[in-house]
């Protein structure tokens, strides 16, 4: 029995079964490469689900975290510390907007904060919110109530709020659903868990206009798409819209748990003392990591790199003209290989066997969300190997028939 199987056995005995048993037991990583407890190496094209923005063991993050943990690891929200203030100022600067920031630990918590902000601002006269089918906003009860995926939502209902779902990308349907009794519209600028699905051009602009006309708030969930993932600091910048509330997480901390709910303009002052809190949210170590991430993305010109690398990756996959590849969706280094058959899990397994970690986000879509530092050489290695990976998938499926 190898070390992986031994660790899997211990995992199955000690942890809840909600994740199943992971197929790889990771021991360490550097850059875009990780290795398992048995020494096998993999090119990490998942990036911790779009979290590991600077890859693994990036010197800037290691230095910032090590320095901060020696000085102050935790103090709670009873006291202030400079890293949180600096990070909030930095985020508002990137947004080029006035506002205020609430820090938590995860995307779900950021969306819970946004939902509370919306509810307090709206009051009883605006009892419902609108979200999109196939959206994903988190697994805590409020965030799950906003999530338009029945398979993960329905087992845990009923939920406490009135949420009305519309098709993603349909401006006319959205307009019909939003009136003067609507508190807010919650949207992802690109739907991540749906399979990295961008909206039609002009959709976010239409959503902004609909909210302006009715008085509903526009809340944009950039938990996956924010902090450089698409080649912009924020994906909504592409359409030139400004949300009323923005949520961030994942790549912000480069591997450490941190999220942010940003209320822009007057909406930053809706929550007051006692309205909300988080014991660990915005702790000094996570804030130090996030500052290192933001500073490194800016210093190393990673936004430009992400845009260029993402194009090379997508064009390379399309150029294979493989019969299992229907299209490549997404933006920057956030892509989905859409398949002509529902065999994403088999592709994920074959890729893993070949030394590449990818994610079967949907039955017919494989998600790629690698570190933003992914090199052109690493992209070429994956594209070169992909026909063999897809070929093994096709052979396995044929053998099973």
- Hey, which residues are catalytic here? 136, 221, 250
- Cβ neighbours around 111 below 10 Å, total: 29
The C-alpha angle 86, 255, 59, rounded to 5 degrees, equals 75
DSSP code for 239: G
Which residue, 220, 198, 296, 217, is CA-closest to 255?
296
List the structure tokens of 178: 């939003």
List the structure tokens of 347: 């592709």
Alpha helices in 31-106 (DSSP H): 47-50, 59-71, 82-95
Q: Compute the distance between CA of residue 73 and CA of residue 221 in angstroms, rounded to an integer.
A: 28
Which residue, 351, 366, 368, 251, is CA-closest to 309?
368
Where is 305: in which H helix or E strand? helix 302-320
The three-class DSSP label of residue 123 is: coil
Q: Compute the distance between CA of residue 48 and CA of residue 50 in angstroms, rounded to an integer.
A: 6
CB under 8 Å to 387, separation ≥6 — which residues? Answer: 320, 322
Alpha helices in 260-372 (DSSP H): 284-299, 302-320, 344-353
Helix count and strand count (H, E) for the chain: 13, 15
* Location of structure tokens 């986000």: 361
The C-alpha angle 44, 48, 53, rounded to 5 degrees, equals 85
Pairing of strands 162-166, 128-132: parallel
């Amino acid at each position: 029995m190898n070390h992986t199987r031994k660790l899997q056995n211990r995992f199955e005995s000690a942890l809840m079964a909600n994740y199943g048993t992971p197929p790889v037991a990771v021991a360490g990583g550097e850059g875009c490469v990780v290795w398992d407890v048995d020494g096998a190496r993999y090119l990490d094209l998942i990036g911790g689900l779009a979290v590991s923005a600077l890859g693994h063991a990036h010197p800037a993050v290691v230095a910032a975290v090590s320095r901060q943990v020696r000085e102050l690891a935790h103090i709670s929200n009873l006291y202030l510390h400079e890293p949180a203030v600096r990070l909030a100022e930095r985020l508002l600067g990137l947004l080029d907007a006035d506002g205020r920031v609430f820090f938590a630990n995860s995307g779900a918590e950021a969306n819970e904060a946004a939902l509370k902000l919306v509810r307090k601002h709206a009051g009883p006269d605006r009892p419902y919110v609108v979200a999109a089918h196939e959206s994903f906003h988190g697994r805590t009860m409020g965030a799950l109530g906003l999530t338009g995926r029945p398979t993960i939502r329905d087992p845990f209902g009923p939920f406490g709020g009135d949420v009305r779902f519309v098709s993603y990308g349909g401006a006319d349907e959205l307009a019909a659903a939003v009136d003067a009794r609507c508190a807010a519209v919650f949207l992802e600028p690109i739907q991540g868990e749906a399979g990295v699905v961008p909206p039609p051009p002009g959709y976010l602009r239409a959503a902004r206009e609909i909210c302006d006309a009715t008085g509903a708030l526009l809340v944009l969930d950039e938990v996956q798409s924010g902090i450089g993932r698409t080649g912009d600091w924020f994906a909504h910048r592409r359409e030139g819209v400004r949300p009323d509330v923005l949520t961030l997480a994942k790549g912000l901390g480069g591997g450490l748990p941190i999220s942010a709910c940003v209320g822009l303009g007057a909406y930053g002052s809706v929550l007051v003392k006692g309205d909300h809190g988080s014991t660990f949210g915005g702790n000094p170590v996570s804030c130090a990591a996030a500052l290192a991430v933001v500073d490194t993305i800016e210093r190393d010109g990673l936004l430009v790199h992400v845009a260029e690398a993402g194009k090379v990756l997508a064009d390379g996959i399309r150029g294979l003209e493989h019969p299992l590849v229907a299209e490549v969706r997404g933006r920057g280094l956030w892509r989905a290989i859409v398949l002509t058959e529902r065999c994403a899990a088999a592709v994920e397994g074959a890729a893993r066997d070949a030394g590449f970690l990818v994610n079967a986000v949907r039955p017919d879509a494989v998600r790629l969300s690698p570190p933003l530092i992914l090199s052109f050489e690493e992209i070429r290695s994956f594209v070169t190997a992909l026909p063999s990976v897809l070929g093994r998938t096709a052979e396995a499926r044929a053998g099973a028939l």
